[in-house]
């Protein structure tokens, strides 16, 4: 899997820009605000059909414009694939593969697997449980389209059930048979999500620890705990047990939508006991563990995007990380940093590395073969 080129128009701070890539590792350097992260987000967008950062597509449109567009030329086993999209305000998003427009954007997810590591990932530690569920949902959606279908079905039914509970409260009424219809339909997708999440978490932990042991010289042991209401019974039983509480609170208070991941280091909760450097090591280990898990599942090397990876990492861990990235088992890697000399010193003599130097405008230039 390889991205040969990308064209961006009116996406975030880009008015118009084109980039071509020819090497395994692309180092994108420049000052803050020059567009490094936005370039990575554009690559991510073409793979996942949405931004890593923005909650809505309209937040990606350059200030003063009414639309954005982008296209990328991907290669898989030397076969080219053209991906393009256009987003206009108040219109449906158009997304294409080989000039064929997707009716369902979810059909594109997983075709070009990708892992993105960014300083914003600290929200996985400090943010709400929805951040951690989003992590595992994307993880599984890239390998299992049935999982994505079940996730969408469950979320649709959950919204409808909550709307029904609110209607009961607003009208001072209750229709038990109607509510049971929704309850019965939620059982199958909830069960699929539960089993998939439970199995995936147990599978990814060894991959996380392999990276963590490398970065910490085997001084830190990482783990993930999985908490779910469904540990106490299937979805149907949970809904039946808590129907009176749901009526009072006007929402579904138990279920797979409340799942939680607990991040641990040496059997201690990372959020409470780990230093900033240890937290950063965990997050990088988590993403590289995800990368290796994906590669193991699909037998294809995903794209790896590493944004500002040296933030809060000491020199030793930074060197160990770059040593790891330079290994042959990674696919195409994109790295951003404000200090070009740091990457040049690490990758000196590596013919698989190219540099993109960003300017604030941004008007990039490409310097290959460093």
Per-residue pLDDT of the chain (370 residues; tens, 9 = 90+): 999 999 999 999 999 999 999 889 999 998 888 899 999 999 999 999 999 999 899 999 999 999 999 999 999 988 999 999 999 998 889 999 999 999 999 999 999 999 999 999 999 999 999 999 999 999 999 999 999 999 999 999 999 999 999 999 999 999 999 999 999 999 999 999 999 999 999 999 999 998 888 887 777 888 999 999 999 889 999 999 999 999 999 999 999 999 999 999 888 999 998 888 888 889 999 999 999 999 999 999 999 999 988 776 777 777 788 778 877 678 999 999 988 888 888 787 788 899 999 876 544 444 433 3
Contacts of residue 95, defined as CB under 8 A and 6 or more positions apart, other chains included, come to 49, 83, 84, 85, 101, 102, 105, 108
Pairing relationship of beta strands 333-337 and 303-307 according to DSSP bridges: parallel
Report, in this order, helix, strand and coil percent for the chain, each rounded to 5: 45, 25, 30
Q: Is 345 exposed, middle or buried (0-12, 13-18, 19+ CB in 10 A)?
A: exposed
The rounded Cα 74 to chain-centroid distance in angstroms is 19
Contacts of residue 231, defined as CB under 8 A and 6 or more positions apart, other chains included, come to none
């Amino acid at each position: 899997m390889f991205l040969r080129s990308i064209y961006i128009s009116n996406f975030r701070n880009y008015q118009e820009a084109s980039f071509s890539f020819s090497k395994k590792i692309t180092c994108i350097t420049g000052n803050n605000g020059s567009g490094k992260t936005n370039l990575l987000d554009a690559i991510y967008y073409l793979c996942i059909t949405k931004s890593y950062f923005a909650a809505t597509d309209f937040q990606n449109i350059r200030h003063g414009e009414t639309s954005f567009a982008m296209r990328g030329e991907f290669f898989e086993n030397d076969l080219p694939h053209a991906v393009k999209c256009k987003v206009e305000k108040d219109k449906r998003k158009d997304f294409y593969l080989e000039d064929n427009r997707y009716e369902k954007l979810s059909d594109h997810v997983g075709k070009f697997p990708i892992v993105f590591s960014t300083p914003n990932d600290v929200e996985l530690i400090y943010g709400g449980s929805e951040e951690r569920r989003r992590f595992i949902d994307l993880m599984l959606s890239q390998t299992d389209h049935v999982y994505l279908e079940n996730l969408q079905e469950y979320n649709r039914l959950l919204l409808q059930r909550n709307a029904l509970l609110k209607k009961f409260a607003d009208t001072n009424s209750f229709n038990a048979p109607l509510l049971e219809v929704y309850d019965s339909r939620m059982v199958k997708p909830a069960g699929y999500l539960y089993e998939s999440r439970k199995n995936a978490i147990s599978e990814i932990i060894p991959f996380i620890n392999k990276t963590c042991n490398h970065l910490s010289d085997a001084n830190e042991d990482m783990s993930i705990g999985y908490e779910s209401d469904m540990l106490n019974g299937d979805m149907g039983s949970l809904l039946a047990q808590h129907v009176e509480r749901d009526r009072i609170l006007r929402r579904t208070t138990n279920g797979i939508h409340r799942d939680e991941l607990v991040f641990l280091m040496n059997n201690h909760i990372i959020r409470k006991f780990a230093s900033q450097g240890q937290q950063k090591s965990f997050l990088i280990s988590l993403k590289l563990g995800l990368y290796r898990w994906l590669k193991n599942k699909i037998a294809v090397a995903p794209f790896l995007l590493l944004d500002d990876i040296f933030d809060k990492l000491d020199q030793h861990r930074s060197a160990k990380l770059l040593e790891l990235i330079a290994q042959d088992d990674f696919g195409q890697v994109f790295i951003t940093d404000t200090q070009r000399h740091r990457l040049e010193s690490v990758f000196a003599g590596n013919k698989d590395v190219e540099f993109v130097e960003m300017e604030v405008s941004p008007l990039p230039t490409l310097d290959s073969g460093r």
